[in-house]
């Protein structure tokens, strides 16, 4: 069949019009993939996305190596993101902008002990000034430390904070509440408290390890406590009573207990212990009827304090029946005299005595504390040797007001 040139030109023009119309028309106005997936490749022809059915049988838009899925809004059902889905380092500061998570995005009770576990939040992951929760029962983490307040919002708190370069980091307790009852309230009114509560059934534990006991130890040791041979640590146990009739008690395990100031037991000052002593290991010279100092040392009697003086010596004399007279002086003040002991010549007799003295003035008094000896006739000797020293010891025994019978300076 012969086609004229005019007919061929007309045919070509018609095909051009139809092709141009096809190119200008919408393409794939409606299509679907049944049970399959569409793979998207990058410029190099490598797959970066799959749209549709995944290898797990689920349907999603999934990024492959080099791909990224970006969504302006994300509505995830419960359980969509698990610990295995978010790996360490997945969310960092550039990916989680400031104020990205606010109170309206985390509801009450969204974070609890079950959802925040050890090492979940560390210092390098939370920056800024404060993490708080409420006004009463508040938890505050700021530059001053970590603080937990009382739910009643009454200024009680416990804090872990840095004090200063000398004291370092410590536990700070806010004031407690007023108390009343049979126990003297001034002893613990407004006192902060550390409590040890009952854990377990300690009645069935022969060692009482589960009774409410507060244990403070330095340094830490794992024993409960194993009685130390050389006591290499300090331990205080505040123990409750038990069903076997055991009384509550406080146990101290340490090498030295230093008490600076007053020690009061059941409301009574029990004294501060040894204050001074003056001892000799050889006998005095024979002393006649003139009072002679046989032991002496300088002593400061503190204002408002009482003391017990214990003097020990042996006595011999030039003749049986001679009397030995003792007197106690503090400076020029005589604190006691008339201590008379009958001697029996060469046999050594006991001449020991005790005297109570006090300073009930408002000022300390410093002077020589002396023991003076004289004979009624002939001579007497204050006996001593290395195995039987002669002299006195002076102990602080408490408040001057509690010893009204003592001789005053």
What pLDDT sits at residue 187? Answer: 47
What DSSP letter does each residue of 58-80 carry, written as one string? -EEEEE-TT-----SS----TTS
Residue 310 clears pLDDT 90, i.e. is over it: yes
DSSP SS3 for 146: strand
9 belongs to a structural domain:
no
In the chain, the number of structural domains is 3
Report if residue 53 sits inside a domain: no
CATH number at residue 342: 2.60.120.760
pLDDT of residue 404: 94
Residue 228 and residue 277 in one domain: no
pLDDT over 60 at 184, yes or no: no
pLDDT higher than threshold 70 for residue 271: yes
Q: Does residue 30 form part of some domain?
A: no
Q: Which of 234, 258, 282 is the last residue before a domain boundary?
A: 258
- Does pTM top 0.75 for this prediction? no
Asked if 343 and 403 sit in the same domain, the reply is yes
What is the residue range of 177's domain? 131-194
401 and 285 within one domain: yes
Domain boundary among 258, 277, 294: 258
Name the residue with higher pLDDT: 43 or 138.
43
Nearest to 64 by CA among 89, 87, 37: 37
Find the farthest-apart pair of alpha carbons in the chain and give their distance in angstroms, rounded: 179
How high does pLDDT run on average in the chain?
77
Calpha distance 324→287 (Å, rounded): 9
pLDDT tens per residue across span 21-31: 777 776 666 67
Are 305 and 397 in the same domain?
Answer: yes
Q: Give the span between the Cα atoms of 315 and 352, in whole angstroms.
A: 9
Q: Within a domain: residue 339?
A: yes
Share of the chain above pLDDT 70, in %: 63
- The reply to whether 242 falls in a domain is yes
Structure tokens at 168: 């370092």
Answer yes or no: is pLDDT of 11 > 80: yes
């Amino acid at each position: 069949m012969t086609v004229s040139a005019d007919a061929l030109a007309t045919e070509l023009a018609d095909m051009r019009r139809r092709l141009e119309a096809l190119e200008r028309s919408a393409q794939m106005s409606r299509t679907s993939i049944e049970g399959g997936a569409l793979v998207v490749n990058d410029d190099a022809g490598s797959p970066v996305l799959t749209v549709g059915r995944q290898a797990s049988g689920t349907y999603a838009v999934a990024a492959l190596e080099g791909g990224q899925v970006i969504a302006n809004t994300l509505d995830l059902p419960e359980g969509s993101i698990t610990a295995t889905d978010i790996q360490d380092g997945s969310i960092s500061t550039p990916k989680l902008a400031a104020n990205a998570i606010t109170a309206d995005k985390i509801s009450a009770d969204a974070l609890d002990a079950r959802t925040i576990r050890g090492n979940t939040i560390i210092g390098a992951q939370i920056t800024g000034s404060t993490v708080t929760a409420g006004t009463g029962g508040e938890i505050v983490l700021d530059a001053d430390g970590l603080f937990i307040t009382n739910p009643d919002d009454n200024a009680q708190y416990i804090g872990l904070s840095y004090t200063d370069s000398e004291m370092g980091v410590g536990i700070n307790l806010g004031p407690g509440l007023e108390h009343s009852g049979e126990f003297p309230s001034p002893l613990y009114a407004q006192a902060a408290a550390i409590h040890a509560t009952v854990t377990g059934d300690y009645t069935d534990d022969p060692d009482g390890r589960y009774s409410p006991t507060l244990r403070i130890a330095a340094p830490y040791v794992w024993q409960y406590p194993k009685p130390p041979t050389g006591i290499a640590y300090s331990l205080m146990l505040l123990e409750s009573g038990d069903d076997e009739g055991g009384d509550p008690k406080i146990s101290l395990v340490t090498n030295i207990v230093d008490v600076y100031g007053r020690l009061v037991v059941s409301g009574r000052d029990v004294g501060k212990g040894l204050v001074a002593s003056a001892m000799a290991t050889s006998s005095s010279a024979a002393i006649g009827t003139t009072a002679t100092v046989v032991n002496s040392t300088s002593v400061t009697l503190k204002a408002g304090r009482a003391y017990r003086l214990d003097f020990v010596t042996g006595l011999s004399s030039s003749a049986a029946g001679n009397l030995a007279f003792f007197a106690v002086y503090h400076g020029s003040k005589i604190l006691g005299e008339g201590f008379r002991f009958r001697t029996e010549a060469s046999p050594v007799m006991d001449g020991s005595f005790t005297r109570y003295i006090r300073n009930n003035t408002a000022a300390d008094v410093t002077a020589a504390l002396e023991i003076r000896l004289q004979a009624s006739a002939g001579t007497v000797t204050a006996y001593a040797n290395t195995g039987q020293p002669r002299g006195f010891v002076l102990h602080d025994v408490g408040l001057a007001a509690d010893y009204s019978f003592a001789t005053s300076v």
